[in-house]
Amino acid sequence: MKDVVRPPVETIYQKELEALKEVDDRPKPKNWELSPWAVVQFLLGGKLKNDIEVEPKYFGDRRLIELAVSTLVTDRALLLTGIPGTAKTWVAENLAAAISGDSSLLVQGSAGLAEEALRYSWNYAQLIAKGPSKEALVASPIMKAMEQGKMARVEELTRIPSDVQDTLITILSEKILPVPELNFSIPAQKGFNLIATANDRDKGVNELSSALQRRFNTIVMPLPSTLEEEVKIVKSRVEKIGQQLELPAQKSPVEEIRRLVTIFRELRSGRTEDGQNQLKSPSGTLSTAEAISVFQNGQALAAHFGNGQVNAEDIASGLTGVIVKEGEQDLQVWQEYLETVVKKRKDWADLYEACMGWIK
Amino acid sequence: MLKVFGIRHHGPGSAKRLVKALKEYQPDCLLVELPAGTEKALAHINNPELKPPVALLLYPKKDLESGSFLPFAEFSPEWQAMKYASKKEIPIIPMDLRMGIQVPKSSGNTSRTAIRKDPMGYLAKLAGFEDSERWWDATFEQEEDDLRVFDMIEEMTKVLREGILFDEPPLNIAREAFMRQTIRKAIKDAYHKIAVVCGAWHTPALIQWENISAKSDASRLRGLKKEAYEVSWIPWNYERLSFYSGYGAGVVSPAWYELLFRYKNSISARWLSKAGRLLRTEGQDAAPANILEAVRLSETLSALRDKPIPGLSELSDAAITVFCRGDSKLFELVNRKLIIGQKTGKVPESLTTIPLQKDFEQQIKTARLSAAYKSTEAVRKELDLRKNTQLLASKLLHRLNILEVPWGKPMKGSQFKTGSFSEKWKLKWVPDYIIRVVQAAIYGNTVEEAAFNKMKENLQTTEALGELGILMDQIIKADLPGLVSDLTRKMQEIAAVTKDIVTLIDALPKLVQVYKYGNQRNSEVHFFQEIIEEIGPRIFVGLPSTCSGIEEELAKEIYTKLIRVHHALQLYNNSALKSQWQISLKTLAGISSIHFIIQGWAWRILFDQGMVDINLMEKTIRGYLNTTKSPLDFTMWLEGFLNGSGLLLIHNPGFWTLLDNWIMSLSEIQFKTILPVLRRTFSNFQEPERKKMLSIAQNWQPGEKIKKQEEIEIDEKQAEIALQAVRKLLEI
- Contact residues on chain B for A67, CB-CB shorter than 8 A: 297, 301, 317, 321
What is the average per-residue pLDDT within B561-582? 87
B272 CB near a chain A CB, below 8 Å?
no
Sign of CA dihedral B38, B41, B45, B49: negative
Interchain proximity B304–A219, CB inside 8 Å: no
Q: How far is CA A131 from CA A119, A122, A181, B546, in A?
A: 19, 10, 10, 69
What is the average per-residue pLDDT within B527-536? 84
- Asked if residue B413 has pLDDT above 70, the reply is no
What span, in angstroms and rounded, lies between the C-alpha atoms of A286 and A280? Answer: 13
The domain boundary, picked from B560, B581, B612, lies at: B612
What is the average per-residue pLDDT within A261-281? 84
Interchain proximity A214–B287, CB inside 8 Å: yes
Question: Residues 201-220, chain A: which have Cβ within 8 Å of B?
Answer: 210, 213-214, 217-220
B396 shares a domain with B336? no
pLDDT of residue A316: 86
Say whether pTM exceeds 0.90.
no
pLDDT tens sequence across B185-217: 999 998 989 999 998 889 988 988 888 888 888
B285 CB near a chain A CB, below 8 Å?
yes
Q: Please report, as a single letter, which amino acid is at residue A254.
A: V
What span, in angstroms and rounded, lies between the C-alpha atoms of A143 and B323? Answer: 29
B166 shares a domain with B61? yes
Contact A299, A248 (CB under 8 A): no
Helix (H, G, I), strand (E, B) or coil at B97: coil
Alpha-carbon distance B325 to nearest alpha carbon in chain A (angstroms) = 5
Contact B260, B138 (CB under 8 A): no
What span, in angstroms and rounded, lies between the C-alpha atoms of A77 and A217? Answer: 6
B332 shares a domain with B289? yes
At B179, the pLDDT band (50, 70, 90 cuts) reads very high
Q: Would you mind telling me the total number of residues written for chain A in this entry?
A: 360
Q: What is the mean pLDDT of chain B?
A: 82
pLDDT tens sequence across B338-374: 888 878 788 776 776 778 888 888 888 888 988 888 7
pLDDT of residue A132: 87
- Contact residues on chain B for A339, CB-CB shorter than 8 A: 537, 541
The domain boundary, picked from B612, B642, B657, lies at: B612
B177 shares a domain with B86? yes
pLDDT of residue B249: 52
pLDDT of residue B522: 54
B175 shares a domain with B52? yes
pLDDT tens sequence across A190-221: 999 999 999 877 666 788 888 888 889 999 98
Helix (H, G, I), strand (E, B) or coil at A217: strand
B134 CB near a chain A CB, below 8 Å?
no
Instruction: Name the pairing type of β-strands A120-122 and A137-139.
Output: antiparallel
How many structural domains comprise chain B? 5
Residue B708 inside a domain? The answer is: yes
B422 shares a domain with B527? no
B513 shares a domain with B435? no
Instruction: Look up residue A342 and give its DSSP letter.
Output: I
- Asked if residue B419 has pLDDT above 60, the reply is no
Residue B129 inside a domain? The answer is: no
Across-strand partners of B426? Answer: B380, B409
Contact A279, A267 (CB under 8 A): yes
What span, in angstroms and rounded, lies between the C-alpha atoms of B714 and B721? Answer: 13
- Asked if residue B647 has pLDDT above 60, the reply is yes
Alpha-carbon distance B266 to nearest alpha carbon in chain A (angstroms) = 19
Instruction: Name the pairing type of β-strands A184-187 and A176-179.
Output: antiparallel
Tell me the backbone φ, ψ of residue B685, rounded to 5 degrees.
Answer: -75, 160
Instruction: Look up residue B251 and give its DSSP letter.
Output: B
B232 shares a domain with B150? yes
At B246, the pLDDT band (50, 70, 90 cuts) reads very low
| Residue in B285, B317, B538 closest to A67 by CB | B317
Residue B138 inside a domain? The answer is: no
A277 CB near a chain B CB, below 8 Å?
yes
What is the average per-residue pLDDT within A29-37? 93
What span, in angstroms and rounded, lies between the C-alpha atoms of B278 and B284? Answer: 9
pLDDT tens sequence across B691-722: 888 888 887 665 555 555 455 677 888 888 88
ipTM (interface pTM): 0.75
Alpha-carbon distance B538 to nearest alpha carbon in chain A (angstroms) = 7
Residue B624 inside a domain? The answer is: yes
Q: What is the mean pLDDT of chain A?
A: 86
The domain boundary, picked from B449, B482, B513, lies at: B449
Contact A206, A161 (CB under 8 A): yes
Buried b (16+ CB within 10 A) or exposed e, B361-376: eebbeebebeebbeee
DSSP codes joined into one string, B220-236:
HHTT-B---EEEEEEE-
Instruction: Look up residue A156 and give its DSSP letter.
Output: S
Tell me the backbone φ, ψ of residue B379, rounded to 5 degrees.
Answer: -120, 135
- Asked if residue B417 has pLDDT above 70, the reply is no
Residue B125 inside a domain? The answer is: no
B364 shares a domain with B220? no
pLDDT tens sequence across B658-673: 888 888 888 888 888 8
* Nearest in space to A137 (alpha carbons), one of A154, A150, A124: A124
B384 shares a domain with B293? no
Q: How far is CA A308 from CA A119, A253, A292, B431, in A?
A: 54, 11, 18, 80
Q: Please report, as a single letter, which amino acid is at residue B707.
A: K
pLDDT of residue B254: 86
pLDDT tens sequence across A49-76: 888 888 888 888 888 999 999 999 988 9
* Nearest in space to B272 (alpha carbons), one of B324, B220, B307, B233: B324
* Nearest in space to A37 (alpha carbons), one of A49, A28, A50: A28
Least confident of B267-276, B287-296, B566-575, B625-634: B625-634
What span, in angstroms and rounded, lies between the C-alpha atoms of A259 and A33? Answer: 44
Residue B133 inside a domain? The answer is: no
Higher pLDDT, A134 or B69: A134
Alpha-carbon distance B275 to nearest alpha carbon in chain A (angstroms) = 16
Residue B128 inside a domain? The answer is: no
What span, in angstroms and rounded, lies between the C-alpha atoms of A220 and A81? Answer: 5
- Asked if residue B432 has pLDDT above 70, the reply is no
**Domain housing B359:** 355-449
B497 CB near a chain A CB, below 8 Å?
yes
pLDDT of residue B248: 43
Q: B315 Cβ partners below 8 Å, 6+ apart? A: B268, B271, B272, B275, B298
- Asked if residue A247 has pLDDT above 80, the reply is no
Interchain proximity B496–A280, CB inside 8 Å: yes
For an interface test with B, the pick among A32, A70, A337 (most B C-beta atoms closer than 10 Å) comes out as A70
A7 CB near a chain B CB, below 8 Å?
no
What is the average per-residue pLDDT within B3-19? 88
- Asked if residue A106 has pLDDT above 90, the reply is yes
Contact B13, B144 (CB under 8 A): yes
B9 shares a domain with B95? yes
Buried b (16+ CB within 10 A) or exposed e, A27-50: ebbeebbbbbbbbbbbbbeeebee
pLDDT of residue B247: 40
- Contact residues on chain B for A70, CB-CB shorter than 8 A: 297, 300-301, 304
pLDDT of residue B110: 53
* Nearest in space to A86 (alpha carbons), one of A197, A221, A220: A221
- Asked if residue A140 has pLDDT above 50, the reply is yes
* Percentage of residues in chain B having pLDDT higher than 90: 13
pLDDT of residue B88: 92
pLDDT tens sequence across B84-138: 999 999 999 999 988 877 676 655 555 556 666 677 778 888 877 766 777 787 7
Question: Which stretches does DSSP call E strand in B466-595?
Answer: none
Residue B462 inside a domain? The answer is: no
B214 shares a domain with B299? no
A328 CB near a chain B CB, below 8 Å?
yes
B302 CB near a chain A CB, below 8 Å?
no
pLDDT tens sequence across B434-491: 667 877 877 888 999 999 999 998 888 888 888 888 888 888 888 888 888 888 888 8
Q: Can you list the alpha helix ranges (DSSP code H) found in A110-197?
A: 115-118, 124-130, 141-148, 162-165, 167-173
Contact B199, B8 (CB under 8 A): yes
A105 CB near a chain B CB, below 8 Å?
no
- Asked if residue B236 has pLDDT above 90, the reply is no
What is the average per-residue pLDDT within B161-189? 85
What is the average per-residue pLDDT within A277-305? 82
- Asked if residue A168 has pLDDT above 90, the reply is yes
What is the distance in angstroms between the CA of the first residue and the CA of the last residue of chain B? 99
Contact B314, B305 (CB under 8 A): yes
| Residue in A73, A278, A339 closest to B497 by CB | A278
Q: Nearest 5 degrees, angle CA A203-CA A208-CA A210?
A: 125
